Chains A and B, each alone.
Chain A
Amino acid sequence: AQSVSQHNHHVILSEAASLELGCNYSYGGTVNLFWYVQYPGQHLQLLLKYFSGDPLVKGIKGFEAEFIKSKFSFNLRKPSVQWSDTAEYFCAVNWNNAGNMLTFGGGTRLMVKP
């Protein structure tokens, strides 16, 4: 079965620290890749997505992610986090042979200390 792994379940950072959250997925052909964020008390919302083209994707709020096909990875990064980035982050993968279905990773809870 196709799977998505987020290895960091909980991350605690101080403001201005750099962030990298890992996301790996199993082989299954061509993929579309997503990072979603859930701020406390809010809807799950899209941070960024990759369908094709430049493997370095820019998203909202200064986030970016890099698709490395050879490593089956789509890690999320931000050079300098803010307290307002405290949230839960989910990586999701759509394999092109699975219609519009998304498979989510287990999520990473990020706490940014002021």
Chain B
Amino acid sequence: SQTIHQWPATLVQPVGSPLSLECTVEGTSNPNLYWYRQAAGRGLQLLFYSVGIGQISSEVPQNLSASRPQDRQFILSSKKLLLSDSGFYLCAWSRRSEQFFGPGTRLTVL
């Protein structure tokens, strides 16, 4: 069966510090991968998606970037965090159009 992992689960970072959130998927090959941000009362905002290694599409211009160095690994990064980057970050993979979500990372930028 397929599983999706995210780490860390929670993170508190100062403004201006770098960020690296990791997502890995097991049990499937060549998945489509997604990064979302969930802000209170605003639903899920798609940040990036990837259809293969090295292929990244950005949905929202912002302070973040994504990379896919391996087939089942998806990384969300920032060089300098802003206060507005605080939120709950979810990784997902899809089979057809059904998406399966990881446990998320709660990021607080102080």
Q: Tell me, yes or no, whether A binds B.
A: yes
A interface vs B, CB < 8 Å? Answer: 6, 9, 32, 34, 36, 43-46, 49, 90, 92, 94, 99-107
Chain B residues contacting A103 (CB-CB under 8 Å) are: 46
B53-110 at interface with A (beta carbon < 8 Å): 90, 94, 96-104
| Pairs across A and B, CB under 8 Å, 27 listed | A6-B43, A43-B103, A43-B104, A44-B44, A45-B101, A49-B98, A90-B43, A92-B44, A92-B99, A94-B97, A99-B51, A100-B32, A100-B96, A100-B97, A101-B46, A101-B49, A101-B97, A102-B46, A102-B97, A104-B43, A104-B44, A105-B43, A106-B41, A106-B42, A106-B43, A107-B42, A107-B43
Chain B residues contacting A101 (CB-CB under 8 Å) are: 46, 49, 97
Chain A residues contacting B44 (CB-CB under 8 Å) are: 44, 90, 92, 104, 107
- Are the C-beta atoms of B101 and A107 separated by less than 8 Å? no
User: Cα distance A90–B90 when bound, in Å?
Assistant: 14
Among all A-B residue pairs, the 9 with the closest Cβ atoms: A94-B97, A106-B43, A44-B101, A104-B44, A100-B94, A104-B43, A107-B43, A100-B97, A32-B97
- Are the C-beta atoms of B98 and A46 separated by less than 8 Å? yes
Chain B residues contacting A43 (CB-CB under 8 Å) are: 101-104
A89 to chain B, nearest CB (A): 11
Chain B residues contacting A32 (CB-CB under 8 Å) are: 96-97
- Are the C-beta atoms of B41 and A44 separated by less than 8 Å? no
B33 to chain A, nearest CB (A): 10
User: Cα distance A100–B46 when bound, in Å?
Assistant: 12
A40 to chain B, nearest CB (A): 13
A111 to chain B, nearest CB (A): 14
